[in-house]
Structure 1
Amino acid sequence: MITKREMYELFGKLALEKVTIKTPFKIPNPTIDEACFLYVIEGEINYQLEKEQLSVHSKDALLLKCGNYFSQMKNFKTSKIQEIIFIHFHPDILKKIYEKELPKIFNVPENRQENTYICKINNDFLIKKYIEGLLFYFDNPSLINEEIVALKLKEIILLLCQTKNAPIIQQILSQLFSPIDYTFKQLMDDHIFSNLSIKELAELSNLSLSSFKREFKKVYHDSPANYIKSKKLEMAAELLFISDERVTNIAFDCGFNDLAHFSKSFQDKFKCSPSNYRLNQKKRLLN
């Protein structure tokens, strides 16, 4: 749950926010036409994607391309509180604050990689100092205005350009102004574990709900609800096999907010409970 949230807008859109979160928690962010930078002030979180999981420690940062989501946020010691800074990049806002010309970081690189969507920045000294300065304004909200918010956006972009990750960062930020065209299957495969509703997935693919369901059936030979549920259960089975994580946490990581619903769905698919499935897999390894 969010225990505290402080936000500053620029030209009517969210630009900066400081969020205190008690885990486990899911944050759908950013939106389809947005990129987002996050910095972990305190705590330790997992960023769960379909094919990888990143551990983001205190003083680490992430930059994510538009259309991706923070599908899972949970720490390893669930009694801890997470404090996170979010900085949102909207293309229309960026055009306003850079009146004359956008910086080169937003230009499409010559060798653009289509699968570049996330960049982790480890304990960068300059970004750490930037965050310390930003926190001053969260502690003194009467001193901040839209001009300062615009300056802070420009400052973080300038600092990102100077990190060793600059080439990857350019790959991500350039998509704000020259988005990559994705096939329907690429979009779905990227967002199967994002906990978006069927309606939101349809909007993401620029299709009406009925057209989306028809296209999904044609590509995957199943309904969206059945296919997504099956994939999440398969991921849960894999995590039960390869990790010692609690069943409750695995259910949450795989998009099930109700443990009873998860257990019943798992039983229906694998003909045993999650706990028994884990036990049976371990017995097979020993035999």
Structure 2
Amino acid sequence: MEYTGADVKGRIFVSCKKEKHYSRELILDQHALVYVFAGTLELSYADQVHRFTRGTTLLIPRNQLGRMAKLPAEDVPFRSLSILFPEALLRKFYAAQAENPAEGKWHGHLALEKHPLLESLFSSLLPYFEMRDELPPELAGIKIAECLTVLDACNPQVKRLLSAFHEPGKINLADFMEQHFLYNLPLQKLAYLTGRSLSTFKKDFKKVYQTTPRRWLTRKRLEHAHYQIAVKKRKPTEIFIDAGFENLSHFSFVFKKHFGYNPTQVQ
């Protein structure tokens, strides 16, 4: 899932889920701040799962690949407030400061400790959402500037994350693919995240795996799905999305084509 199209003034919006909600791929094109009012927010990376409960403030950097789950708390719906920070706004904000933080790469999210200033800021925003799900751009711009000032006062690490604008650099292709093959992303996006053009990505992939990315991804996902069904005793309906497939019918078709029997026939 991607949040795109936010204008230069940024966006502030609320999320309210009465039922468990699981995203597909989560990869933001802007840094984001999330505050959990109720329920549990779950972030899953390649080999890690992190859970954040009521009162947690979380910064998620751009281009961080993962999945997100929004889990209600018993009879209370999951509720969160999110703020997206466009690059132009962040550059303008930090350029006006006497000590502009040096840019650099940032890996992973940043969970902030509870702070009265943060809680006051988020509480002041809630009444606006009685009128609409997203704040008007004019008001959002004012509140985002206030938010950045508050964040600076709460944690010095915030500047390092929010001022990191580098594009992904060229990384080890095999390491990345082995960790992220379950994410159903276009090849163009996979190439970008490894710091390559699409043509270079395909060329390097061929050198490493002696096959095409699509064939390799399909085989790896099917092997993972077979293990989940045969060993973990999970149902095909439970795992086809996690295994990187768009829908159950397509998953069943390619599974039978590869193994010679349907997913429901796995012993």
**What TM-score do the two structures reach when normalised by structure 1?**
0.67
- Structure 1 residue 133 displacement after superposition: 1.4
| Number of the residue aligned with 2:80 | 84
| Number of the residue aligned with 1:40 | 36
| Number of the residue aligned with 1:262 | 251
- Structure 1 residue 94 displacement after superposition: 1.6
Corresponding position: 1:50 with 2:25: no
| Number of the residue aligned with 1:73 | 69
- Structure 1 residue 35 displacement after superposition: 1.4
Corresponding position: 1:127 with 2:123: no
Corresponding position: 1:63 with 2:59: yes
- Structure 1 residue 49 displacement after superposition: 1.6
Give 1:1-287 correspondences, 5 Å limit. Answer: 10-11=7-8, 14-21=10-17, 23-26=21-24, 28-31=26-29, 34-73=30-69, 75=71, 82-98=78-94, 100-101=96-97, 104=100, 106-108=101-103, 116-121=107-112, 126-140=117-131, 146=137, 148-163=139-154, 166-167=156-157, 169-176=158-165, 178=166, 181-183=169-171, 185=173, 188=177, 191-204=180-193, 207-236=196-225, 247-266=236-255
| Number of the residue aligned with 1:284 | none
Distance 1:38 1:100 in 2: 25
Distance 2:69 2:52 in 1: 10
SS of the aligned residue for 1:172 comes to: helix
SS of the aligned residue for 2:240 comes to: helix
Identity over the aligned pairs, expressed in percent?
A: 22
Distance 2:89 2:79 in 1: 26
Q: Contact 2:169 / 2:195 at 8 angstroms: preserved in 1? A: no
SS of the aligned residue for 1:136 comes to: helix
Q: Contact 2:171 / 2:195 at 8 angstroms: preserved in 1? A: no
Distance 1:237 1:128 in 2: 46
SS of the aligned residue for 2:164 comes to: helix
Change (3 A) 1:183 1:152: same
Q: CA RMSD in A?
A: 4.2
Change (3 A) 1:92 1:251: same
Distance 1:202 1:208 in 2: 6
Deviates more, 1:264-273 or 1:213-222: 264-273
Could you tell me which runs of 5 or more consecutive residues in structure 1 were left unpaired when the two chains were aligned.
281-287
Q: Contact 1:66 / 1:175 at 8 angstroms: preserved in 2? A: no
Distance 2:41 2:15 in 1: 13
Q: Deviations over 1:224-250 (max 9, x none)?
A: 112223343444456557867654233
Higher helix residue share: 1
Q: Deviations over 1:147-190 (max 9, x none)?
A: 642342233334434556x54x45533422x5563425266566
Distance 2:137 2:147 in 1: 16
Amino acid at match of 2:79: E
Change (3 A) 1:153 1:115: closer
Amino acid at match of 1:36: A
